[in-house]
Every structure is written in structure tokens, then in C-alpha cells.
Amino acid sequence: MRNVTLILDDGIRFPGKSFGYEKPVAGEVVFNTAMTGYPESLTDPSYAGQLMTLTYPLVGNYGVPPFTIEPNGLATFMESERIHAEAIIVSDY
């Protein structure tokens, strides 16, 4: 993990650590307050181009389900076939 900084439009800076794929990103910071369902949120096209901040403290404690397709052609545990959010921001990794 490497040190990174989230910089808001007004100049406020939040230091943190990067995990996962590393690339510079920009976008609207949005909040997701759900207690479960982060795989669905990350793959939801409505989050395209956004930096998703998860407010629930136990994100990732149940892993990520396999990508499977139902007989009706829809994904079982995902909203689409890929992640649409530009980044995910969590308090404790």
C-alpha cells in the first residue's frame, strides 16, 4: 500500500492508503450507507465516475460472491458485469 491524498474542491485534504489497483482518479465523492451489498453497489452503473465512500465499518467481512448469471440472464449478486465506481473509500482497510 502507498500513501495517497483525497483532495476536495475546497482544498481540504484527507491522507490515506491506497489498496487494490492504483491509478489517479477524479470524480464526485458520494456516500453509501448500506450495511450489506457492497458488490451490488460497486457494480451499479449509477455510480459510474464517482468515488464511493462506504460508511458501514465492516465492509468486506463476507467477501465477494462469484459472478453468476440467473436463467433470466441477470447477474445473481451484481448489478452489472463490471465495477463502475472510480474508487472506493473506506475508513479501515
Domain contains 82: yes
Domain contains 45: yes
What local confidence, expressed as pLDDT, does residue 25 receive? 92
Instruction: Please tell me the total count of domains within the chain.
Output: 1
Domain contains 2: no
What local confidence, expressed as pLDDT, does residue 31 receive? 93
Domain contains 81: yes
How far apart (Å, rounded) are the C-alpha atoms in residues 43 and 16? 24
Extract the residue ranges of the chain whose pLDDT is less than 50.
Answer: none
Domain that holds residue 79: 24-89
What local confidence, expressed as pLDDT, does residue 9 receive? 94
What local confidence, expressed as pLDDT, does residue 12 receive? 96
How far apart (Å, rounded) are the C-alpha atoms in residues 5 and 67? 32
* Terminal-to-terminal C-alpha distance of the chain: 11
Domain contains 63: yes
Rounded to two decimals, the pTM is 0.80
